[in-house]
Amino acid sequence: MKNTELQTFSSIKNALETASRVCIVPHENPDGDAIGSALGLGQVLKNQGKEVAVVPVNEYPEFLKWFSADVPVLIYEKDKKAAKAALFDADVLVCVDFNEEKRAGHLQKMIHKYDKTKILIDHHPYPTQFCDHTVSETQYSSTAELVVDVLAQTEMSSYIDTKAAEALYTGILTDTGGFSHNTSKNTFRVVSELLEYGIDTDKIQSAVFHNFSADRMKLLGYCLNQKMVVFPEYRAAYISLTKADLEQFNFKPGDTEGFVNYPLSINNIVFSALFIEKEEYVKASFRSIGNFPANAFSHDNFNGGGHLNAAGGESELNFEETIQKFTQLLPQYKHQLLDTEI
Ligand code: 5GP
Ligand code: MN
């Protein structure tokens, strides 16, 4: 690990060893890596005899609800009292898969107020210092891959079991789009280590990628057929979904996961956006291939950030204005988009 000093690992080891209760917080709208790293680490700590709770601020996708890890997941929006108690009662708070407090949504203030030991394990660029001990390694494919190496550094690997390995493998699988991007030699080394625990990768593949509702598949068809706008002259495309679109297809959290990637399968398209109308804002997702920086685009225009090729943000403009803003921005990025090397 490039950025983390050995001292940080011994501090983390010490903090976790002496803790009886640990709370693990993933980012808002948790994805496979956020939930997988939280449950994987949680299971390891549970196996060590600790009381563990995973506290996401909001609901996570249906296709991530098959894990065998037996760590309670207390969703703040569903049970504020229980989630808050689990957070403040913990001796150590571990934040996973995010790089700034505001990515925890309505848990931001509580994380800030929490005055015992805070640990961050994350792989996003531009980390902020909001924890006592930070492991931030951007060359990792996923936080789950990083958790496996942190467990080795803190001499906790012996507590990994099949349940933990399954969750950690899923984090890597989802954040790399099924091992299709951001992988390294280390990714496959870690994966092969996780396979030693006898996880059923065929079962995980089906559970994650072949587990959609018919409504979700129809929504995808509708997006590609009616809601995708392609700008070959800018090598860009976007898909937009209103609340009414989502209602029509009985939207459930996670249903639009991965939609933003589809336009990138079009020949010569290097930048893709997905806009989803929420109650109070418009959620934006950006994906790119090659060296076009989706994170800088999101940071500079949509209050967001993320990785070079996968970023997200938010817009306070109304839905139509948000789309208009995006399309009007494309000419400014024309040279960069046309020069993108893939
Ligand atoms: P997604 O498009 O799947 O929501 O997010 C893609 C990536 O961008 C993830 O790595 C996620 O953590 C990051 N991301 C998503 N939304 C935001 C946001 O509002 N702010 C920041 N800083 N990063 C985001
Ligand atoms: Mn991640």
Is 90 exceeded by the pLDDT of residue 229? yes
CA 34 to ligand 1: nearest atom:
12
With CA atoms as reference, report the closest residue to 342 among 265, 231, 258, 238: 265
307 in ligand 1 pocket by Cβ < 6 Å? yes
Is 90 exceeded by the pLDDT of residue 105? yes
- Give 15's pLDDT tier (boundaries 50, 70, 90): very high
Query: Interhelix angle for 143-153 vs 185-195, to 10°?
Result: 70
312 in ligand 1 pocket by Cβ < 6 Å? yes
End-to-end CA distance of the chain: 27
pLDDT digits (tens, 9 = 90+) for 265-285: 999 999 999 999 999 999 999
314 in ligand 1 pocket by Cβ < 6 Å? yes
CA 98 to ligand 1: nearest atom:
12
Instruction: Tell me where in the chain the CATH 3.90.1640.10 domain(s) lie.
Output: 6-209
Is 90 exceeded by the pLDDT of residue 289? yes
> What is the C-alpha separation between 249 and 87, in angstroms, rounded?
35
Q: Assign 3-class secondary structure to 153-175.
A: HCCCHHHCCHHHHHHHHHHHHHH
Size (the chain), residues: 342
Alpha helices in the chain (DSSP H): 6-18, 32-47, 80-89, 108-113, 143-153, 162-175, 185-195, 201-209, 214-222, 243-248, 294-301, 319-339
207-233 burial: b if 16+ Cβ within 10 Å, else e: bbeeebeeebeebbebbeeebbeebee
> What is the C-alpha separation between 272 and 265, in angstroms, rounded?
10
What predicted TM-score, i.e. pTM, was given to this entire model? 0.94
pLDDT digits (tens, 9 = 90+) for 51-62: 999 999 999 998
Return the pLDDT at 342. 86
Ligand 1 probe mutation, 25, 28, 31, most atoms within 8 A of CB: 31
59-63, 98-102, 294-298, range with the lowest pLDDT: 59-63
Instruction: Check if the beta carbon of residue 125 is closer than 8 Å to that of residue 18.
Output: no
Is 90 exceeded by the pLDDT of residue 101? yes
pLDDT digits (tens, 9 = 90+) for 118-162: 999 999 999 999 999 999 999 999 999 999 999 999 999 999 999
**Among all ligands shown, which has an atom nearest to the Cα of 305?**
1
Mean pLDDT of the chain: 97
| Ion ligand 2 neighbours, Cβ < 5 Å | 33, 97, 142-143, 175
Is 90 exceeded by the pLDDT of residue 38? yes
> What is the C-alpha separation between 309 and 292, in angstroms, rounded?
7
Round the CA-based radius of gyration of the chain to a whole number and report it. 20
Pick the CATH number of 214-338 from 3.90.1150.10, 1.10.10.10, 3.30.365.10, 3.10.310.30: 3.10.310.30
- Give 245's pLDDT tier (boundaries 50, 70, 90): very high
What is the assigned CATH class of domain 6-209? alpha beta
Return the pLDDT at 93. 99
Instruction: Tell me where in the chain the CATH 3.10.310.30 domain(s) lie.
Output: 214-338
